[in-house]
Chains A and B, each alone.
Chain A
Amino acid sequence: MPKGKTAKPSLRKPVNLPAAARVVTLAMYDYHIAEDTGKHGLVGLFDTFWSKQFPTRVAFHLFVKLAGAPGRHKARVELRNKISGNRVLELPVYEFDLPDRPVAYNDLVSQLSLDLPGPGVLEWQVYVDGKLSGAYAFQVLLVD
């Protein structure tokens, strides 16, 4: 900077990097495509289970994208009955490393089979490093 000049106050607003790990996407869908480039294909997104009879078994994929600070993290995903609070399903706890680069994400892809005893409201709960990072409720409906 030339002598005698002072810097102008900066108008630049820094991009906010997530300090704590958090969920960016939680999606249920029919079919997964793993591309060679590392990209994902999420085919047949849905947000409600429909069935003509119960109990019923459903097969689907679950995609969870987590963002967070660099370092090692531990995640746990579970499915609970939103009304009773009872746990319906729990995925194995998994650990992952987020590299030290400007933006890092971790993608969890799970192929699931689930027995649904009846209509109701269920909720995915995602815990990262012991803290609830996201809760996603959805309905299970009886249709004619």
Chain B
Amino acid sequence: MLDKPQVNIFAVCDRVVRDQSGKPSLLGVLDILNSPAFPAVFSFYVFVQIMAPPGDYRIAVHLGSDEPLPQKLLEDAVAVTEQARGMHISGNVTLPFDHPGLYEFRLYIDDVPALTRPFQVRQVA
């Protein structure tokens, strides 16, 4: 059905919860991080769901910014055994930001860039 991995969900949210069957829910899906003052520390979840042909995959999420070095936020291996079943990884991330600005989450599958997701860190009154 698929000849390469596809990214269904690349989300940033306040919380990821799972019911008894393991079905995930994303609470507080957000695009912008607001703080009245900087430096500021934010805590949030990154959630990724991919569908892919059967095989083993390594999924990683990095924080990109206008800084020289990207920062790895999340990395996990997933084994896809059934065609067309979504596989997801998620993790809680706590990050300090020295200043407002434009940042980017970069998603890699087996070290190949798969999707980027820019986001803004903003100072609000």
Question: Would you give the shortest CB distance from A111 to chain B, in whole angstroms?
Answer: 17
- Give every chain A residue within 8 A of B86 (Cβ-Cβ): 47-48, 138
Q: Which residues of A contact B (CB under 8 A)?
A: 11-18, 24-27, 29, 33, 35, 37, 39-48, 65, 67, 82, 101-103, 105, 121, 135-139
- Give every chain B residue within 8 A of A35 (Cβ-Cβ): 28
* Stretch binding the partner chain, chosen from B54-62, B71-79, B91-99, B113-121: B113-121
Range of interface residues on B (Cβ < 8 Å)? 35 or more
Asked if B35 is at the interface of the complex by the 8 Å CB criterion, the answer is no
Asked if B41 is at the interface of the complex by the 8 Å CB criterion, the answer is no
Question: Would you give the shortest CB distance from A69 to chain B, in whole angstroms?
Answer: 12
Classify the secondary structure of B's interface with A.
strand
Binary contact track B6-25/A, C-beta < 8 Å → 1, others 0? 10111101100001000111
Determine whether the beta carbon of B118 is less than 8 Å from that of A18. Answer: yes
Determine whether the beta carbon of A42 is less than 8 Å from that of B26. Answer: yes
Nearest first, the 10 A-B pairs at minimum CB distance are A47-B86, A11-B68, A40-B29, A43-B25, A15-B104, A42-B26, A139-B84, A39-B28, A103-B118, A103-B120
Q: Tell me the bound Cα distance from A12 to B65 in angstroms.
A: 8
Determine whether the beta carbon of B116 is less than 8 Å from that of A47. Answer: no
Determine whether the beta carbon of A46 is less than 8 Å from that of B27. Answer: no
Determine whether the beta carbon of B85 is less than 8 Å from that of A105. Answer: no
- Give every chain A residue within 8 A of B88 (Cβ-Cβ): 45
Contact with A14, one of B6, B24, B66, B84 (Cβ below 8 angstroms): B66
Question: Would you give the shortest CB distance from A71 to chain B, in whole angstroms?
Answer: 16
21 chain-A/chain-B pairs, Cβ below 8 angstroms:
A11-B68, A12-B68, A13-B66, A15-B64, A15-B65, A15-B104, A16-B64, A16-B118, A18-B118, A25-B11, A35-B28, A39-B28, A39-B30, A40-B28, A41-B26, A41-B28, A44-B23, A67-B118, A102-B118, A138-B51, A138-B84
Asked if B37 is at the interface of the complex by the 8 Å CB criterion, the answer is no
Determine whether the beta carbon of A45 is less than 8 Å from that of B66. Answer: no
Question: Would you give the shortest CB distance from A39 to chain B, in whole angstroms?
Answer: 4
Determine whether the beta carbon of A47 is less than 8 Å from that of B51. Answer: yes
Q: A41-B25, A65-B11 are in contact. List 19 more A-B contacts (CB 8 A).
A: A13-B64, A14-B66, A15-B102, A15-B103, A16-B64, A16-B104, A18-B116, A25-B10, A26-B9, A27-B11, A29-B25, A40-B29, A43-B25, A44-B25, A46-B23, A102-B118, A103-B32, A136-B51, A139-B83
Question: Would you give the shortest CB distance from A144 to chain B, in whole angstroms?
Answer: 17
